[in-house]
Amino acid sequence: MLLLRNVDTFTPAPAGRTDILIAGGRIIRVEAGLSVPDGFCDVVEGSRWLAVPGFIDGHVHLMGGGGEGGYATRTPELALSDAIRGGVTTVVGCLGTDGVTRSGEGLLAKARGLEEEGLSTFIYTGYYAVPVQGITGSIERDLLIIDKVIGVGEVALSDHRSTQPTFDQFARVAAEARRGGLLSGKAGVVNVHMGDGPRGLALLRRIIAETEIPVTQFLPTHINRNPALFEEGIAWAKAGGLVDFTTSTVPAFLAEGEVKSSTGLRRMLDAGVNIAHMTFTSDGQGSLPDFDAQGKLRGIGIGRVTSLFAEVRDAVQQDGVPLATALQVITSNPARILKLKGKGQIAAGADADVVLLDPSTLAITGTIARGRWLMRDGDLLVKNTFELGPVSEQK
């Protein structure tokens, strides 16, 4: 048991200074001036921190991704320490372009491993390609049979790396995800990788117009990757759709017109988009391939989960978005959209996923996941099985 005493708390709504009592991996009480018997639990004075909900990163290539520049460009798996340092206590794993040398089974195993190591994990079934076979043979079966599967993705549209699905093929993917989601009580979200192609969101708009599938079944990601897609995203979100920003980037992308997530958040709010329709994800461990106009690979970088909160912090410090607003895109919004029960909030009954921030710099100083300290005062307390050497040498 743990009592965080007198800590300035964002639930993500501002709750002022309060005490947070944690037991059995859950938050038991959030209340100022809690009295507990001596020796009842570990009492930690929290007045030097801000407490915010543990972050949810809804799009991470847990077992690596990439490979668009050949085998040597396949990216490595997520290191537990990156998630802990980035305050990410819940991750949703996905595959990417390559669903041949990477498999749903491998992704599920990696997700289970990270869960054993302290994180909360979920996965999308499928990869860029349509039709989707998934793990058990169909999207619907995967949603119903495999606990960790919460939707399908990332399936690719408007991209030279997509399998160029037809309207019927893509509507079928969405229908299966919806049916599987309804029957399993899960979100059944279709996580859609949006490429740079000029078709943009056109196929999604057509599916909304010509089928009964609701607009909220889709979570198009990389919405900030170019100015045209970003503008389409504003219209999509104002019409009730959801949009997901990708926080990992490289300077070359920004120079070519990618909208920095922090600035994009500000711009969408100014354009009248409801904050509830926006999420950030890192695209962690995904490759950041830089193609020229002819589709030739110029260079390749790698996404980092630590970019997730870095962009939220920039939104607050550089773009003037209130912390309680900016936090929603990595806490309460993904929890609600992805139906992650007990996640994304500091409240009695919620999972005890808490990130502690320095109030002046908003630097992450502590990470608690399901009631367990993974990082405290900047020191990693938990390490991956194969991250060798004393924890103190890994900083």
Pattern 96-135, Zn ion, x by CB under 5 A: ----------------------------------------
Backbone φ and ψ for 386, nearest 5 degrees, come out as -110, 10
Instruction: State which residue, 154 or 351, has the beta carbon closest to Zn ion.
Output: 154
Backbone φ and ψ for 176, nearest 5 degrees, come out as -65, -40
Give me the catalytic one of 8, 19, 142, 283: 283
CA dist 337 and 40 (Å) reads: 37
Backbone φ and ψ for 47, nearest 5 degrees, come out as -70, -15
Position 61 contacts Zn ion (CB under 5 A): no
**Number of neighbours of residue 113 by Cβ within 10 angstroms:** 18
**Minimum CB–partner distance for residue 214 and Zn ion (Å):** 23
Cα dihedral across residues 164, 61, 136, 98: positive or negative: positive
Instruction: State which residue, 85 or 222, has the beta carbon closest to Zn ion.
Output: 222
CA dist 167 and 359 (Å) reads: 49
**Minimum CB–partner distance for residue 59 and Zn ion (Å):** 7
283: annotated active-site residue: yes
Span between the terminal Cα atoms of the chain, in Å? 28
Which residue has its beta carbon closest to Zn ion?
Answer: 193
> Which residues 343-362 are close enough to bind Zn ion by CB under 5 A?
none
Instruction: State which residue, 9 or 248, has the beta carbon closest to Zn ion.
Output: 248
**Minimum CB–partner distance for residue 145 and Zn ion (Å):** 26
Binders of Zn ion: how many residues, by CB under 5 A? 2
**Minimum CB–partner distance for residue 97 and Zn ion (Å):** 8
Count Cα neighbours of 227 within 13 Å in the Cβ-side half-sphere.
4
Which stretch in 99-107, 166-174, 186-194, 341-349 sits in contact with Zn ion by CB under 5 A?
A: 186-194
Cα-based distances in Å from 189 to 37, 92, 242: 46, 12, 11
* Of 61, 85, 110, 193, the one binding Zn ion by CB under 5 A: 193
CA dist 47 and 255 (Å) reads: 41
Residues near 187 by beta carbon (within 8 Å), at least 6 away in sequence: 150, 151, 181, 337, 338, 339
Instruction: State which residue, 285 or 365, has the beta carbon closest to Zn ion.
Output: 285
Instruction: State which residue, 49 or 127, has the beta carbon closest to Zn ion.
Output: 127
Chain positions contacting Zn ion, by CB under 5 A:
154, 193
Q: Which residues are catalytic?
A: 283
